[in-house]
């Protein structure tokens, strides 16, 4: 098995230089780093993390914190966790970092697992794959010494915290863009369909839509649906449409809500077709009937960026929040003729 000494010999540098190059030290020139990288490639060398950990008292490991299993909803409704994780993994593997998972069935279990990671492998870098108000796990982790965190999601806190950074889409702007898209398509009587305004993502998207429509002096109504009670939803929709016969289109808070709407349309035996646009652009948008126009939020990039922030060396120009752009993907659900 190749050692760092073999790498140094092939690269024609000292072992300590090779080691510094491997750790991307500022003391080593780019040219030397490139020579060392090529030697590593040639020898198929992979660093021995354990030995490094002993020396540095730190591990080349990022901890990914998953939401607790109790909140099944956030798990089930988030079809892009795997893509975020893949994005994180990709950046970590490029930087010789390992990826560790922390999960738990309850807040308490998850907190303990995070604690074990911090104490054990001296893991000091964490990515939270969720953002929850007053989360005891997040509060615990960010308070630990020398620990830095990146959260994929919205910031609930107004106060700036040096140890925490956020990666997110601009859900408010996405809401505005969706409203603009629909107006330009000729749909003027729009309804925002949602399930829970306590979820910051839904609120932000709604607020964006609502503000934009107001600015354009258009009507912007909203209607909440149950995640389970189908009969109740049918009645609600029928009553709403009877009271608002001009309704032309729905803006669904996410893909799941959009599919639920399409089903409600059918089961409510409506005499008119409605356009639908949604957010997230998950796999189900393509097999929906009709296929859904939806806002792609680029989960793979969210993961990549979160890992990049955490691995950045210089703390000087530390940004508090990074926004990943979004993009509307047009499909059949916004090509409804019967206006």
Tell which positions 175-234 bind its own copies, by CB under 8 A: none
Binding residue for its own copies (CB under 8 A) from 263, 301, 321, 323?
Answer: 263
Q: What tokens does 280 get?
A: 């997230």
- DSSP states along 123-147: --EEEES---TT-HHHHHHHHSTT-
C-beta of 80: minimal distance to its own copies in Å?
A: 10
CB nearer its own copies, residue 46 or residue 320: 46
C-beta of 88: minimal distance to its own copies in Å?
A: 9
Is 90 among the residues that bind its own copies (CB under 8 A)? yes
Binding residue for its own copies (CB under 8 A) from 147, 209, 251, 256?
Answer: 256
Q: Is 119 exposed, middle or buried (0-12, 13-18, 19+ CB in 10 A)?
A: exposed
Tell which residue, 245, 153, 139, 158, has the closest CA to residue 199: 153
CB nearer its own copies, residue 41 or residue 215: 41
Tell which residue, 302, 335, 77, has the closest CA to residue 194: 77
CB nearer its own copies, residue 119 or residue 214: 119
Helix axes 255-267, 230-243, angle to 10 degrees: 80
C-beta of 136: minimal distance to its own copies in Å?
A: 14
- Return d(Cα 91, Cα 306) in angstroms, integer: 9
C-beta of 96: minimal distance to its own copies in Å?
A: 7
Bridge partners (DSSP) of residue 323 are 168
- Tokens 């760092």 found at: 4
Q: List Cβ neighbours of 241 (8 Å cut-off, separation of 6 or more).
A: 247, 268, 270
Binding residue for its own copies (CB under 8 A) from 8, 10, 33, 81?
Answer: 81
By CB under 8 A, which span of 39-47, 154-162, 239-247, 270-278 interacts with its own copies?
A: 39-47
Is 39 among the residues that bind its own copies (CB under 8 A)? no
C-beta of 123: minimal distance to its own copies in Å?
A: 9
Binding residue for its own copies (CB under 8 A) from 15, 43, 75, 322?
Answer: 75
Tell which positions 96-125 bind its own copies, by CB under 8 A: 96, 98-105, 109, 112-113, 115-117, 119-122
C-beta of 110: minimal distance to its own copies in Å?
A: 9
Length of the chain: 339
Q: What tokens does 234 get?
A: 């049918």
Strand-pair category, 164-169 with 327-329: unpaired
- Tokens 């089903």 found at: 263
Is 278 among the residues that bind its own copies (CB under 8 A)? no
CB nearer its own copies, residue 101 or residue 270: 101
- Return d(Cα 182, Cα 191) in angstroms, integer: 11
Binding residue for its own copies (CB under 8 A) from 283, 312, 318, 327?
Answer: 283
Q: What tokens does 253 get?
A: 């808070």
Q: Is 282 helix (H, G, I), strand (E, B) or coil?
A: coil
- Give the interface with its own copies as residue ranges (CB under 8 A): 1, 44, 46-50, 53-54, 59, 61, 64, 66, 69, 75-77, 79, 81-83, 85-86, 89-90, 93, 96, 98-105, 109, 112-113, 115-117, 119-122, 256, 259-260, 262-263, 266-267, 283-284, 287-289
């Amino acid at each position: 098995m190749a050692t760092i000494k073999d790498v140094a010999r092939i690269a024609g540098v000292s072992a300590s230089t090779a080691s510094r190059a491997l750790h991307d030290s500022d003391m080593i020139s780019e040219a030397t780093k490139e020579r060392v990288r090529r030697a590593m490639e040639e020898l198929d060398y992979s660093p021995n993390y354990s030995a490094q950990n002993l020396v540095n008292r730190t591990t080349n490991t990022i901890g990914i914190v998953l939401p607790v299993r109790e909140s099944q909803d956030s798990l089930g409704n988030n079809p892009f966790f795997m893509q975020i994780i893949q994005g994180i993994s990709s950046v970590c593997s490029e930087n010789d970092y390992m990826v560790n998972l922390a999960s738990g069935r309850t807040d308490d279990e998850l907190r303990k697992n995070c604690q074990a990671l911090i104490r054990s492998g001296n893991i000091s870098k964490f990515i939270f794959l969720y953002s929850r108000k007053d989360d005891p796990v997040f509060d615990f982790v960010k308070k630990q010494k020398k620990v830095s965190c990146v959260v994929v999601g919205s910031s609930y806190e107004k106060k700036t915290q040096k140890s925490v950074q956020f990666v997110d889409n601009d859900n408010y702007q996405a809401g505005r863009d969706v409203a603009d898209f629909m107006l330009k398509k000729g749909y003027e009587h729009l309804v925002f369909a949602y399930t829970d305004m306590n979820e910051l993502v839904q609120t932000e998207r709604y607020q964006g839509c609502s503000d934009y429509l107001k600015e354009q002096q258009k009507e912007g109504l909203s209607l909440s649906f149950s995640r389970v009670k189908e009969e109740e939803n049918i009645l609600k929709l029928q009553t709403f449409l009877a009271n608002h016969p001009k309704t032309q289109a729905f803006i669904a808070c996410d893909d799941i809500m959009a599919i639920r709407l399409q089903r409600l349309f059918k089961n409510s035996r409506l005499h008119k077709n409605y356009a639908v646009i949604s957010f997230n652009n998950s796999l189900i948008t393509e097999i929906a009937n009709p296929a859904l126009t939806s806002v792609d939020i680029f989960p793979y990039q969210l993961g990549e960026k979160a890992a990049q922030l955490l691995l950045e060396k210089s703390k000087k120009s530390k940004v508090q929040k990074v926004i990943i752009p979004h993009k509307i993907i047009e499909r059949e659900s916004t090509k409804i003729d019967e206006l």
